């Protein structure tokens, strides 16, 4: 293309045991939003790391404004105006927000020391310019994932970029923040900045992209204008087949209560929350982000101590003061912050998957049944399509989505009575997403009670037998999965307790 800003030609890249990219060409023009799509492990992150100079390629050429270039160091691309926000954040937890945003370019005083007042002024200007609100004095270690994402974005925006590359920037953002990010993208686009955008959420692609490129198993499937594709044709390009039923059919719920939560309170975060999950039931917990959903699941699974309340599993009152207590009570937990809470990154796929099941077995037998463990791990790896060169591969080297699948697999294998899952398919590709949904439904059919927190409304609607909506640490509405609509959930979530919607659904829930 004549007016391409950046052009990658015939790029190949391999890691030990895997050809991550095989002869891939890709280009991006000024003012274009170019989405990069494909299944987990397809090679998307690897390709953008080559674009941004983080990795060298084994073969192929990079052209910048019509001239061949070779990056001589990781900062070279940034100097040209190519900035990237990676899937795994690149922030320094011990530094504050301002220091992270201006990392490497701190303003100095006449005497050569860091000018702190100026540092905070520049950082808050950058945040304000794009309408982000965040105290620049907070340490990054104090921020939640969404706030960290905002710091990453601001950090990229204060540099005068020609190309901004974003690897799943919305994975941790709520709907309001996503809408906000899209405003930022439109502003940049209007200034002629090119955007390379990776996401597994097709809705976003149709909202923001001009062009799409699909990778599969490290190979280029094709590049098309957005107007040339439909959701179905995109899925076919990515997965190689169509997906008939994206959500499994719902089933009858048994009458027996498996999880009972009564009057749970947690200082400032949860206020007298009571709920029940029946055997075979999937209870969806919806709401705007940060309304106590995370505290609720952490309280049930022993990750935080509650100030009051009671938890009963299968008729027995449980004292859950630690994650260990939760496992012993038959509660499995798939956390949303999988990097920190869910995985031992330096250990193999096999060890991670077998870990929680090992606990149970070690307790009873004091020995590990090797062939059985291998079979067990292999089944889960196959079922979820975990892409690893071998079960012995260190999880740190898996693609982002494949790491997530390992966390999900590890808990699906524990035969729990209750599963508490937070954002079960965040960062997971469309095909595997459907596979995880089917597995969850299968577990429910076997009698497991599932409590699922999700910020994706289609997932809440597609999966839940019953839905509760949280607002400001309380449950403000309850509705049956069959009756619920996105509008009803949203209006309950935003209007809170006084909502007439919530009252009418409370009434219909108790009469049905
Ligand atoms: N540092 C590394 N060492 C070894 N293998 C790697 C490394 N980085 C990536 N890989 C492998 O290269 C392949 C492509 O990974 P990549 O991260 O590019 O996938 P992706 O398309 O970004 O997937 P996702 O949607 O899950 O983020 C995967 O098989 C992955 O395991
Ligand atoms: Mg990736």
Q: Give the residue-averaged pLDDT of 172-182.
A: 82
Q: Give me the pLDDT at residue 463, please.
A: 96
Ion ligand 2, residues whose Cβ is below 5 A away: 45, 87, 399-400
The Cα–Cα gap between 245 and 249 comes to 8
For domain 257-511, give its CATH number from 3.40.50.300, 3.40.50.720, 3.40.50.150, 1.10.287.3510.
Answer: 3.40.50.300
Q: What is the mean pLDDT of the chain?
A: 86
Q: Quote the pLDDT of residue 30.
A: 96
Q: Where are the beta strands (DSSP E) in 232-374?
A: 257-266, 270-278, 282-286, 308-313, 316-318, 331-334
Q: How far apart are the first and last CA of the chain?
A: 62
Residues in the ligand 1 pocket, defined by CB under 6 Å: 15, 18, 20, 38, 40-46, 87, 387, 397-402
pTM of the model: 0.81
Model confidence band, residue 394 (pLDDT cutoffs 50, 70, 90): confident
| Strand, coil or helix: 132 | coil
473, 497 contact by CB (below 8 A): no
Judged against a pLDDT cut of 50, whether residue 311 lies above it is answered with: yes
Instruction: Say how many CA atoms lie within 13 Å of 362 toward its Cβ.
Output: 7
H or E segment at 436?
helix 430-445
Q: How far is CA 413 from CA 332, 360, 370, 381, in A?
A: 10, 11, 15, 11
| pLDDT above 90 coverage of the chain, percent | 50
Q: 6-239: which CATH number, 3.20.20.10, 1.10.1040.10, 3.40.50.300, 1.10.3470.10?
A: 3.40.50.300
Among 28, 175, 154, smallest CA distance to 102 is for 154
Rounded to 5 degrees, φ, ψ at 333 are -135, 120
Q: Atom of ligand 1 at shortest distance to CA of 43?
A: 18
Q: Is the dihedral of CA 499, 500, 506, 512 positive or negative?
A: negative
Pocket test for ligand 1, best of 17, 24, 37, 41 (most atoms within 8 A of CB): 41
298 vs 408, residue with greater confidence: 298
Domain ranges (residues) in the chain: 6-239, 257-511
- Closest residue (by CA) to atom 29 of ligand 1? 41
Contacts of residue 482, Cβ cutoff 8 Å, sequence gap at least 6: 250
């Amino acid at each position: 293309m004549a007016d391409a800003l950046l052009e990658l030609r015939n790029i190949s890249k391999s890691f030990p045991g895997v050809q991550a990219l095989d002869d891939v060409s890709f280009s991006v023009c000024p003012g274009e939003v170019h989405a990069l799509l494909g299944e987990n492990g397809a090679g998307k992150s690897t390709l953008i790391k080559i674009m941004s100079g983080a990795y060298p390629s084994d073969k192929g050429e990079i052209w910048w404004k019509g001239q061949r270039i070779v990056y001589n160091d990781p900062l070279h691309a940034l100097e040209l105006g190519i900035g990237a926000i990676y899937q795994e954040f690149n922030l320094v937890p011990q530094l504050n927000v301002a220091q992270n945003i201006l990392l490497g370019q701190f303003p100095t005083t006449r005497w050569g020391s860091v000018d702190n007042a100026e540092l905070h002024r520049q950082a808050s200007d950058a945040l304000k310019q794009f309408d982000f609100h965040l105290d620049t004095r907070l340490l990054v270690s104090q921020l939640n994932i969404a706030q960290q994402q905002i710091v990453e974005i601001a950090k990229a925006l204060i540099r005068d970029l020609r190309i901004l590359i974003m690897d799943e920037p919305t994975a941790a953002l709520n709907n309001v923040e996503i809408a906000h990010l899209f405003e930022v993208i439109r502003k940049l686009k209007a200034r002629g900045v090119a955007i390379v955008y990776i996401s597994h959420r097709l809705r976003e692609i149709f909202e923001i992209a001009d062009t799409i490129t699909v990778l599969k198993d490290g190979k280029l499937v094709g590049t098309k204008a957005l107007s040339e594709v439909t959701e179905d044709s995109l899925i076919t390009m990515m997965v190689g087949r169509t997906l008939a039923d994206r959500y499994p059919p719902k089933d009858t719920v048994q009458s027996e209560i498996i999880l009972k939560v009564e009057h749970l309170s947690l200082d400032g975060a949860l206020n007298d929350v009571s709920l029940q999950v029946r055997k075979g039931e999937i209870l969806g917990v919806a709401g705007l982000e940060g309304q106590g959903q995370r505290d609720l699941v952490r309280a049930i699974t022993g990750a935080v101590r509650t100030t009051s309340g009671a938890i009963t599993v299968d008729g027995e009152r449980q004292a859950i003061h630690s994650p260990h207590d939760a496992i012993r009570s038959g509660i499995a937990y798939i956390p949303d912050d999988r990097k920190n809470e869910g995985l031992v990154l330096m250990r193999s796929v096999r060890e991670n998957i077998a870990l929680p099941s090992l606990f149970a077995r070690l307790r009873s037998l004091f020995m590990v049944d090797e062939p059985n463990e291998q079979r067990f791990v292999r089944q889960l790896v196959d079922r979820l399509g975990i892409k690893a060169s071998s079960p012995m591969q260190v999880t740190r080297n898996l693609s982002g989505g494949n790491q997530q699948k390992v966390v999900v697999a590890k808990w699906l294998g524990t035969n729990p009575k209750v599963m508490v899952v937070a954002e079960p398919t965040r960062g997971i590709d469309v095909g595997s997403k459907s596979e995880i949904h089917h597995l969850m439904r299968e577990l429910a059919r076997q009698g497991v009670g599932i409590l699922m927190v999700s910020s994706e409304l289609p997932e809440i609607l597609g999966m839940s037998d019953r839905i509760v909506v949280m607002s400001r640490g309380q449950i403000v509405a309850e509705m049956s999965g069959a009756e619920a609509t996105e509008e009803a959930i949203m209006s309950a979530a935003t209007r809170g307790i006084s909502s007439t919607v919530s009252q009418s659904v409370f009434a219909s829930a108790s009469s049905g």
